[in-house]
Amino acid sequence: MVETKDIEYVAKLAKLKLNDSDKEKLIPQMADIINFANRISELNTEGIEETNHILNMSNVFREDEVKTSYKRDDILMNAPQKEAGCIIVPGVNN
């Protein structure tokens, strides 16, 4: 049975301000909604495969591929500044 405290709880979650008249009006409406939702438990689901999505979904990602590495000298060839086999970049100021 739906009570005023249930209406107040749902109204608080939904951030609704209700007066006493609204709360009383909502009690039978919420009871109807709950009774309607409870009808799902009456359905015969025997032999029906469980699903989590209505469409047949599959992984669309590609397999990982190992790429060959570039030679260090080829990478450093285009670096504007380099030192000891590394690219020099501007520092980050905090």
Convert the pLDDT of each residue in 5-23 to its tens digit. Answer: 999 999 999 999 999 999 9
**pLDDT mean across residues, the chain:** 90
Task: Establish if 87 belongs to a structural domain.
Answer: no
7 closest CA partner among 28, 31, 23, 29:
23
Say which CATH number the domain at 21 has.
Answer: 1.10.20
Task: Establish if 23 belongs to a structural domain.
Answer: yes
Q: How many domains does the chain have?
A: 1
Mean pLDDT of 42-68: 83
Residue 53 has pLDDT above 80, yes or no: no
Note down the domain range covering 18: 4-42
